[in-house]
Chain A
Amino acid sequence: MNARIDDWTAGAEAIVYQSCAACGGLQYFRRSFCVACGAQDPVEKYASGAGTVYATSLVRRAATPETRAHIPYNIVLVDTVEGFRMMAHGDNDLSIGDEVTARFVPFAGRLVPYFEKVK
């Protein structure tokens, strides 16, 4: 089993993905096997945080007091330069196709990835 690297889902300021040594497949949701070929122990790698906006939705109505305090917040899907897609937060004025880079911000008691436009 390859070393597991802490990412934002574990409270670290990092985006981590997995890469399969056997078939080269990439995956974002962590598993103990490659979802493409089934090989065990895909290698964990740090992502650069660079990517392109695929879709956005500015949330104006939230369902919990903790998330409501952050309204409005922009949920975005970003296609990373490494080649996987991820969900995150981002600047409210992001448009599809914008080139973005990630930092990390507090949200509802956790740390979440937040994308802003590359200047």
Chain B
Amino acid sequence: MSFITGVGLTSYGKHEGSSSLDLMSQAAQLAISDAGLKRSEIDGVLCGYSTVSPHIMLATVFAEHFGIRPSYAHAVQVGGATGLAMTMLAHHLVEAGIVKHVLVVGGENRLTGQSRDASILALAQVGHPDYEVPLGPTIPAYYGLVASRYMHEYGVTQEDLAEFAVLMRAHALTHPGAQFHDPITVADVMASKPVAMPLKLLDCCPVSDGGAAFVISRERTGEAGVRVRGCAQAHTHQHITAAPALSELGAEIAIAKAKEAAGVAISDVRYAAVYDSFTITLAMLLEDLGLAGRGEAAAKVRAGHFSRDGAMPLNTHGGLLSYGHCGVGGAMAHLVETQLQMTGRAGQRQVRDASVALLHGDGGVLSSHVSMFLEQVR
């Protein structure tokens, strides 16, 4: 058994003057306090990476900076899936009895620490150095390729994709920590600047500063009873050129294995936290995971299915698209929000029932996937 005993999240957007270590430290302190623990009780540290301040031993750099001496520590790098991959590892580490309390932390000053061009350029390097990168693709272009094919095969339109941006913005409006606070419409998304067609600016998540952290523990440390019920990964390719057919992508493999590991069916799920780097990412993943039929996710958004008061509340903090995306911390905010929902602490965003949650992360270009079920324990 493992429990998410504490969570911490900074606001996303601009944190002028804060380094990646500062943002990681802020989030870490919040999470440890939330778990009711002392720093000295943290015996494991897993952290992600920072594109602004790359280091070959970031976990140790962080531990020294933060002032702890863990008995287990290293970084994990799986792109956007890093947060959930670290959570999965922490779950297994505490279950195996290696450590008692693992601090999982990510944070980066990605917005103010470098130019937006530098950020876009750094991320485009997930492409193949010989066969893709020389062609000048950007991350939006990799996902634009996927979007064009998905729209072609399943009859999805640009207006359909825009619905996901509007939904994430509507959710962000109710969270003071979100990067964006202006409501948007489908027409706004359609009229936003073209980036890599069919994706436009508002189909893309922003670049943000921010930090997120959680503590994964062998036993509960207080009232919060949120346990990892089961999880699984799948890695089918790195480069989009080498990706399998749309019907054979890793999300479907990961969710099938996670359902088996957890003994949970999609019909048991009451809250969803799904990776949303682009509108197409969210649309595809919802359908791959079985939270909507093929080509039907947008219609479900329009019907309010994924709204806070709907049958399957989704990313109630606003997701990467509108809460913000600071790299590894970006999708960790999804888990922080899920834990708050499951412990009844989401305030004005609180949903009626978050007893079973499904989380899903994606790294690269739909390359690496982690599916995870969390369960409320009374």
Contact = CB atoms under 8 A, between A and B. Distances in A.
B138 A59 contact: yes
A40 interface: no
Given A61-B140, A63-B120, A88 B135 contact: yes
Contacts of A67: 136
A9 B130 contact: yes
Interface stretch (B13-21, B147-155, B337-345): B147-155
A70 B134 CA distance: 13
A87 B242 contact: no
Do most interface residues of chain A lie in helix, strand or loop, or is the interface mixed?
strand
A85 B136 contact: no
A102 to B, nearest CB: 13
Contact of B135 (A54, A63, A75): A75
Interface in B226-254: 239-242
Interface residues of A, number: 32
Nearest to B138: A63
Contact of B131 (A55, A76, A86, A108): A86
B295 to A, nearest CB: 16
Given A55-B146, A55-B149, A112 B241 contact: no
A54 B355 CA distance: 42
Interface in A49-87: 54-64, 67, 70, 73, 75-77, 85-87
B240 A61 contact: no
Given A77-B241, A87-B241, A58 B138 contact: no
A30 B147 CA distance: 27
Nearest to B132: A87
A29 interface: yes
Interface of A: 9, 28-30, 54-64, 67, 70, 73, 75-77, 85-89, 96-97, 107-108, 110, 112
A110 B134 contact: yes
B194 A89 contact: no
B193 interface: yes
A60 B193 contact: yes
Contact of B136 (A9, A55, A59, A60): A59
B248 to A, nearest CB: 14
A64 B131 contact: no
Contact of A77 (B117, B128, B145, B199): B145
A75 B193 CA distance: 18
